[in-house]
Structure 1
Amino acid sequence: MKIKLVALSVLAFCAMFSAEAQKLKKFGSSTEKKIGPKTIKVPYTDVISYAGYASPGNEDEVKDGKKMYYIYVWVPIVAPELGVRMVSPVGKNKVKNVIKSDEYTENASSEDFFDTYITLERSTIFKKEDVTEESVKSATWTTLTSNDDSSEMPKQPSGSSYNSLLRYKSETGSPTKALTAGLYRVGFTTYKTGEVKGTFLAEVAAPVKLPGVVMAKTIEDLKKAL
């Protein structure tokens, strides 16, 4: 009986540890600060969060054989750095002031998740009035950076570190690599072969306040928010 009780206690502790491990920590920027013996990443000061649900057949396009999904982001002013991270499933990774899509609300209890792969892309659209369905389709999109797996992110229910995080510093000397005001998008898919299915939490962050930043799954919703 004692052995069984010990085993149950160990299992309970592991379950509690797993639940704690699933909590999303503050989103740290590339700037580091030494506090005593530890070096920490200074948290981003401006973070916008979006909870959604991806399902087969709802991809935005097939690119290089991958089914790509996009979340559009309007950045109103020049930014020194942008950070993007994505976790799937949302699970216990709750954050405040999150934008929730109708698809997420309907599937919030889903246990489906996918191996996230994310990109940060900048368009050739720099004015609000130029944001239209047609202009987005004809715009030139430049992939600034991407990420597949990040050890900084919570592990997935499978135990694998397949959630993603990236940071991109503006290259002011390059017209195509500078973080100017304009339309951006977070592209996401699954690194492995297969369908993208499951809840996800995506966050875009900056080390300075970006008044008027907007994040939406569709151009229609983005324009409404603008």
Structure 2
Amino acid sequence: MVNRTRAVAMLNITGFNIGCFALPFIQLYFGNAGGVLATIFDTGNALLVTGGSYVLIKYLLPNSQGEGMGINGVVKNLSQSVPFCTYIVMFLLASIHVKVPDVINQILHPIGAATPFLAMFMLGVLFNPNVESSQFKMAVGLTVMRLGWGILFSLTAYYLLPFDLFTRQVLSVVVFAPASALAPIYSVRLDADVQLSAFTNSLTIICGVIIMSYLSVMYTTT
């Protein structure tokens, strides 16, 4: 039971929902230039949310039989993650300046456009507001912990990073993006507390909308 809760905590504290949530949000307030910055931020974030955190949790936390996963298992699981492998391939292509043909982009565009809807739909299917008091307290605690780190990252990005003001503003907003939409799905695969994971994820979305809206309006109207 302890590991099932720890798995939920690790999934919902690490990683950000950039593609399905923050990217369109940032583009709305900061335009395409802000969207580019959010995408660059997602370059490292995607390593976690597309399978990195899932495999790391399987490696660190033994299963119900007390069995852990070795290095071979880590490599095998990462190689079986379609999002992770896709990210690696696209990163390598970008590194050697190979452009994906426009026809492929045209074919994949409808699929990509449907991703936010499917992610929110899956979260809605898994979400159950009738949680137990212990689950509610845990979800609130995880959300507060995530917001605490978000505040620290936001202040660091705004006041300490050696970038122009626009870049620092975008980064200080992006770090309040909610937890990854894949967290509840990976909770299912880890046999963790799915109800707790979905409820926590929903709380981070609510907090993300409020804080990111406030900061974005403040930055773009002053």
Larger proportion of strand: 1
Which structure is larger by alpha-carbon Rg, 1 or 2? 1
TM-score (norm 1): 0.23
